[in-house]
Each structure stands twice: as structure tokens, then as C-alpha cells.
């Protein structure tokens, strides 16, 4: 039976920060979906989210029981990064569409296993939660680049700043958890791939915990020769700040700031800076998940693919090697299977 006329019944694995937020949006904001199943290694927390959001969803003992539950049409994976690979592979095995938060897997080998499983299944089932291509600002920036108005892009200056991170955040997560967004969105923005990476460490901020090297600067080179610098600074204190400036042959295009009320008060002219990714990309999260729901109901899956997750992870692996060696490391992306267009 086609799902087209039915409400899509979702199961969500991981009820932490983004899991809870996606459960809220799928059950309260978006059209044609309902959350019928949830799980978390912290079952009490999962039950609490169900109660707080007033859902009738069942709490399953683990991700595998949820994936295989007949009432679950499609799966959202919002647990910690290292658990994604296992759940996405299980969803493919069960033939169920799966939206997986970034990273698709924490290594390129893990992403490749997912790509191979999806290709063997013969139909796209996986959408990766790279939301930036759905952000209005990035879409406007891409439209300017694609129009040719600034000529060919030569250089990009980017920054990915978080106010602070928790104790569990390690130096390699600056790549796998944070930079991974740029590794995806910049491929999409430039319609290009990476050939080499280097990571340099400026003076360390006193605001970072002892085990964390912060900030970091990642230097990327693309196949077309564009050079990109990305500052990753996850204890910047002052706000959640995403910057992207594209220097072209005849002009410069900059990612717009999120719209905020301009305030004149106490002898100051000011614009607030957002503090949280949840607010900065709220529109993009809504659009990406509605796209997933609509596509699954129509019998397909689109958006950032397992191949995109793999391509970002190949570059991420090279960045981690570059963090450790200080050298310029080659990015070797295998040929894309025809399956991914």
C-alpha cells in the first residue's frame, strides 16, 4: 500500500538535545508525520520526553527493537555519532527509510559500509542530516555563485564558532562533529570536491578544557583549485556564529547574518548574536525533515545522500590525520557509484 495518503509513523533513536527537538518538530510543527516509537540508552529520559511532549509513543528497549517494530514506517537516528553506523545498517537491512543525523558514521570506512549496503539494496533509503543546504542564507549564497555574478570562486574564508562545548568533546570532534558541516556544505556550494587538507593550531584559548586543542584552522584545497580556510573555535564564549565569505574573480559574496531586530538603546546600536544551533538553523531543520517526510510518503528518499556522508567522512579522516601529523594530507575520494547520479 502506498504511504501517500497516510501519516508517516516515525521511530526516533536518541532523545537527547537534537532528538528531542526533532521529535517536537515532527509531532508538532511539520505536516503528515507522527512519532510512534522512541528509544535511548537512557530509557527514563526517553519516557520523560514522551510525557513532556504529550505523545502516545511507545518506548522501545533499544534501537534494533524500534527499527524492526512493524508500526515504524521510517527511522530517525539522533543518538551519539559512534552509534549511527550500526542503526543505519539495521534500517537498510529492514528496508526502512532512515534519516541519520550527522555524521553518517565517524569514519569513512563506516560510511562506505552504509553506501555499499544501500547500493546492494538497490534503492535510496538514507538521508543524512546535513541541514545547511536547506538554510535560506546558504541557498541565497549558492544562487549568487551559480549566477556567475562574482565570477569563479577563488578563496573562501569560513568560521564555525560555538560558545562552548562539554567535557566529552575531544580534539578530533572539531572535525567529525563540527567541521563536518563545512565539509558537506562547501562541496555543495562550490560543486567541487577536496584534494588536500591541513590543520594548524593557533595559540590555545584559556577557556578550553585541558584535553582540547581549541581553536583550530583547517585549510582545504579543491579539485578546481579553490582554497578554503575554516576557523573552528568551539569555546568562543560570545555566541553561535557561522561565517562564510566567497572571494570570486569579480566580487565577494557573504553568507547573510540571521535576521535579528536592530536595537538602539543605552547609547548603543546593536544586533543580538544567537547562542544556540537550535535557533540558528531552526528553519533549515524544519525544511530538511519535511523534505524527508514528503519524499518517503511519495515512495522515495532525497536530500544529502549516503555518498555525501561518505565524501565528507573521507575528507574528515584526512583532517584527523593532518591534526596528528601537521602535514598536508591528500584526500582520495573513490569514483562515485552511478547509483548516486
Ligand X SMILES: NC(=O)c1ccc[n+]([C@@H]2O[C@H](COP(=O)([O-])OP(=O)(O)OC[C@H]3O[C@@H](n4cnc5c(N)ncnc54)[C@H](O)[C@@H]3O)[C@@H](O)[C@H]2O)c1
Ligand Y SMILES: O[C@H]1[C@H](O)[C@@H](O)[C@H](O)[C@@H](O)[C@H]1O
Cβ atoms of 207 and 234 closer than 8 Å: no
| Helix axes 306-325 and 108-121, enclosed angle (nearest 10) | 160
**Residue 274 binds which of ligand Y, ligand X, none (CB < 5-8 A, kind-dependent):** none
Counting contacts by CB under 6 A, is residue 80 touching ligand X? yes
Counting contacts by CB under 6 A, is residue 127 touching ligand X? no
Give whichever of 55 and 253 is closer to ligand X, judged by the CB atom: 55
Cβ atoms of 293 and 30 closer than 8 Å: yes
Give whichever of 235 and 290 is closer to ligand Y, judged by the CB atom: 235
| CA distance linking residue 23 with residue 14, whole number of Å | 10
Question: What DSSP character marks residue 266?
Answer: T
Give whichever of 112 and 181 is closer to ligand Y, judged by the CB atom: 181
Peptide bond into 118 cis (omega under 30): no
Give whichever of 59 and 174 is closer to ligand Y, judged by the CB atom: 174
CB of 308 to ligand Y, least distance (A): 15
| CA distance linking residue 139 with residue 121, whole number of Å | 32
- Looking at residues 252 to 311 of the shown chain, list those that interact with ligand X (rule: CB under 6 A): 277, 281
Span of 50-58, 72-80, 148-156, 157-165 interacting with ligand X by CB under 6 A: 72-80
Nearest to 24 by CA among 278, 327, 312: 278
Give whichever of 188 and 277 is closer to ligand Y, judged by the CB atom: 277
Return the number of other C-beta atoms located less than 10 Å from residue 323's C-beta: 21
**Residue 79 binds which of ligand Y, ligand X, none (CB < 5-8 A, kind-dependent):** ligand X
CB of 280 to ligand Y, least distance (A): 8
What cell does 47 get? 519516557
Residues interacting with ligand X, by CB under 6 A? Answer: 13-19, 39-42, 45, 63, 78-81, 83, 101-102, 129, 131, 177, 277, 281
Amino acid at each position: 500500500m502506498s504511504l501517500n495518503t497516510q501519516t508517516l509513523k516515525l521511530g526516533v533513536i536518541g532523545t537527547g538535545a537534537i532528538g528531542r527537538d526533532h521529535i517536537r518538530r515532527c509531532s508538532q510543527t511539520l505536516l503528515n508525520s507522527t512519532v510512534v516509537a522512541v528509544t535511548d540508552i537512557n530509557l527514563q529520559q526517553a519516557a520523560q520526553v514522551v510525557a513532556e511532549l504529550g505523545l502516545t509513543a511507545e518506548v522501545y528497549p533499544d534501537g534494533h527493537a524500534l527499527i524492526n517494530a512493524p508500526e515504524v514506517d521510517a527511522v530517525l537516528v539522533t543518538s551519539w555519532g559512534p552509534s549511527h553506523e550500526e542503526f543505519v545498517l539495521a534500517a537498510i537491512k529492514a528496508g526502512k527509510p532512515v534519516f541519520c543525523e550527522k555524521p553518517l558514521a565517524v569514519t569513512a570506512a563506516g560510511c562506505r559500509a552504509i553506501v555499499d549496503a544501500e547500493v546492494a539494496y538497490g534503492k535510496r533509503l538514507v538521508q543524512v542530516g546535513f541541514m545547511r543546504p536547506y538554510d535560506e542564507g546558504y541557498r541565497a549564497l549558492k544562487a549568487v555563485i551559480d549566477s556567475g555574478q562574482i565570477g569563479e570562486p577563488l578563496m573562501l574564508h569560513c568560521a564555525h564558532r560555538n560558545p562552548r562545548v562539554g567535557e566529552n568533546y575531544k580534539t578530533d570532534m572539531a572535525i567529525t562533529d563540527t567541521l563536518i558541516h563545512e565539509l558537506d556544505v562547501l562541496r555543495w556550494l562550490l560543486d567541487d570536491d577536496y584534494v588536500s587538507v591541513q590543520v594548524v593550531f593557533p595559540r590555545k584559548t584559556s577557556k578550553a578544557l585541558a584535553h582540547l586543542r581549541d581553536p583550530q584552522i583547517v585549510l582545504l584545497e579543491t579539485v578546481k583549485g579553490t582554497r578554503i580556510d575554516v576557523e573552528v573555535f568551539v569555546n568562543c564564549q560570545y555566541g553561535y556564529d557561522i561565517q562564510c565569505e566567497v572571494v570570486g574573480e569579480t566580487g565577494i559574496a557573504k553568507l547573510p547574518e540571521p535576521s535579528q531586530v536592530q536595537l538602539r538603546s543605552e547609547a548603543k546600536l546593536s544586533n543580538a548574536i544567537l547562542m544556540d544551533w537550535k535557533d540558528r538553523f531552526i528553519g533549515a531543520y524544519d525544511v530538511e525533515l519535511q523534505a524527508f517526510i514528503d519524499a518517503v510518503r511519495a515512495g522515495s528518499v532525497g536530500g544529502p545522500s549516503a555518498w555525501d556522508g561518505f565524501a565528507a567522512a573521507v575528507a574528515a579522516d584526512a583532517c584527523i590525520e593532518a591534526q596528528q601529523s601537521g602535514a598536508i594530507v591528500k584526500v582520495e575520494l573513490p569514483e562515485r557509484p552511478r547509483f548516486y547520479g
